[in-house]
Structure 1
Amino acid sequence: MKNILLPTDFSENAWNAACYAIELFANEACTFYVLNTYTPHIAHSRFMAAALEGNMLEDTAKEISESGLAKVISRIKAQFNNPRHSFYAISSFSMLVDEVKETIEDKQIDLVVTGTKGASGLEEVFMGSNTVRIIKSVNNCPVLAVPESFPFVRPNEIAFATDFNRFYTESELEPLLDMSRTFGAVIRIVHVQQGIHALSELQKFNLDMLRKYLKNVEHYVHTVSELNSVSKTLEVFSNELDIHLLAMLNYQHSYMEKITREPVVKKMAFHTQIPLLVIPELGMCNKKSKNQNEEGLSVSQ
């Protein structure tokens, strides 16, 4: 059974991401945790009245959060009614990223699925600040970012972006392999270069190891010349080859890090037009029981 975390702010963007996740795992037994966090503004004042007002604001925010979660789960059950799936609401007075990290540990989450939304003109941002914060902060669970209004498409073509400069372990690639096995998907390894040139010995070794991990999966290697940015290049590649899912490993100096740091002008065309699977550097092999850390001590809640 998979444990899936669905953060929501009750927007249609978040609803679309939830629908994508439910359809993606339609044939698998899953427990979905629908999470909403609230942090009402509490006025700072030396007067007791301000404190009372703050408590009232918190109570109201809690009621809105719990009511919204109940409506979301009711809507999901009415639309999908999948006996393989169960749903639980989590309403928390907390910051979103902090609660996501705590829930991953507490509920042994296998995947976080979040919606993304772009803006226009100079306000355009990569995926949305909350999604970026989750991706940068979560280091023990894959994150699937689903674009705004993206309809579910069975991921028969998956791109895996890499520069071959880092050795991958098989456990780190398990989320990618799992997707490929589940949907019988082709994996297209895409290497973006600034000018086409031969791979170094290290890169050749890492590519050979990567191919060994993918030996039971249909896969191809594509080397493409960088356009004005990595994100733009991957967008064009995905469009031309009709890619349904783009996957990247997130580590220092990775494509994922480069994209989130690219200047706004260079990434303006990149809204993650397709779902983006971001795999943490440590992979899934190091997940601990919620009751133990490396020394066998209790983990604080």
Structure 2
Amino acid sequence: MQKILIPTDFSENAWNAIDYAMQLFRNRRCTFYLLNTYTPVIPSSRFMAKMIDGVRIVDAVRENSEQNLNKTVKRIQSKYGNPNHSFETISSFNLLVEEVKDIVDTFGIHLVITGTKGASGAEEVFMGSNSVRIIKAVKKCPVLAIPYHFEYVTPSEIAFATDFNRFYTSSELSPLLEMAKMFNATIRIVHVQYGIKALTELQQFNLNMLRRYLGNAEHFVHTVSELNSVSHTLETFSKELGIHLLAMLNYQHSYMEKMTREPIIKRTAFHTQIPLLVIPELGMEGISKGSVEEKQEVESHN
């Protein structure tokens, strides 16, 4: 993970995500792309001024964005001064999600890190809407969502949530494995069931393949009964086992897809207490030759 994109709106929530990233990758050589997008409201009425003290509103907003990005870089360097890290700033008059997708494509980003909003009471949702939109939109690299107020903890316990209904390619699992190897972490595979029952033949095969991919990485399989939602179950599991990072793939009918559907977001009380690593479904584009062979091996069993 050498190229890391971090969107920021200069809030403390966004700074918390930056702070986490600097500590997580303190021993890795990285280029961090700090992004701020702005969409100023341009007065359209001929009776409204488009100038503020002789400066066009768009220019003023862009200058403010660029200045705050530079201040953010100075704040990072002042606190960490890590020679392994370099920084690029991007100030863009664009919608956040569209710009994130463009930058991932243009610069070959390996990871997007975003802060999730803090909310309370009736406002509590799964994550801030921007985080959810980024997770849904980014298809070529993982997204790591950092909860508001979460203080950095070395992720020595990583949970990977799966229902074993899907075959995972080695390229899709590589972000999980890389994270585990970086911190010599234990991977806890967690399977949420409506009722405890034996795995199907397909599920057992996928579990065996998953364990084969994990190789020498220490890992355990946990099967848990669903409490009242997948999100609440995973939250409880993470608390009870002291999980530092929750990982899952985002594909149709996955836990992640169920948790990020709009109707569910509006009524769930799940709020990420720990960082969430969401890995996209890479498809054939992201599959290595070895993974293609593995895929063919699976198909030959069906």
| TM-score normalised to structure 2 length | 0.90
Could you list the structure 1 runs, at least 4 aligned residues long, displaced by more than 4 angstroms after superposition.
Answer: 48-53
Give the residue type in structure 2 aligned to 1:10.
Answer: F
8 Å Cα contact 2:4/2:111 also seen in 1 = yes
Q: Give deviations 1:261-286, integer Å, cap 9, x for gaps.
A: 36357621x21100000000007963
For 1:106 and 1:227, how far apart are their aligned partners in 2? 42
CA contact (8 A) 2:259 2:265 kept: no
For 1:260 and 1:82, how far apart are their aligned partners in 2?
Answer: 36
How many residues align? The count is: 285
CA distance in 2 between counterparts of 1:286 and 1:178 reads 16
Distance 1:283 1:9, change over 3 A: farther
Q: CA deviation at 1:222?
A: 0.2
C-alpha contact (below 8 Å) 2:112/2:142 kept by paired residues: yes
3-state SS of the aligned residue for 2:41?
Answer: coil
Cα deviation, residue 56, structure 1 = 1.8
Determine the structure 2 residue equivalent to 1:79.
Answer: 79
2:125 and 2:267 in contact (8 A); partners too: no
The aligned counterpart of 1:200 is 200
Counterpart code for 2:8:
T
- Offset, 1:48: 8.1
Aligned 1:126-141 pairs, distance under 5 A: 126-141=126-141
8 Å contact kept, 2:34–2:88: yes
Q: Distance in 1 between matches of 2:117 and 2:229?
A: 20
Q: Deviations over 1:68-106 (max 9, x none)?
A: 101100000000000010011100000000110111111
Contact 2:37–2:94 (Cα < 8 Å) also in 1 = yes
- Confirm whether residue 123 of structure 1 aligns to residue 123 of structure 2: yes
SS where residue 247 of structure 1 aligns?
Answer: strand
Q: Is 1:6 aligned with 2:25?
A: no
CA RMSD, Structure 1 to Structure 2 (Å): 1.9
Q: Aligned equivalents of 1:186 and 1:283: distance in 2?
A: 27
Counterpart position of 2:40 = 40
Map of 1:125-274 to 2, 5 A cutoff? 125-261=125-261, 263=264, 267-268=268-269, 270-274=270-274
CA distance in 1, matches of 2:56, 2:227: 53
- Give the counterpart letter for 1:21 in structure 2: A
Structure 1 residue 101 corresponds to structure 2 residue 111: no
Separation in 2 of the partners of 1:126 and 1:40?
Answer: 28
Equivalent residue, structure 2, for 1:67: 67
Tell me the equivalent position of 2:291: none
Structure 2: any 5+ residue segments left out of the alignment? 288-302
Structure 1 residue runs of 5 or longer lacking an equivalent are 288-301
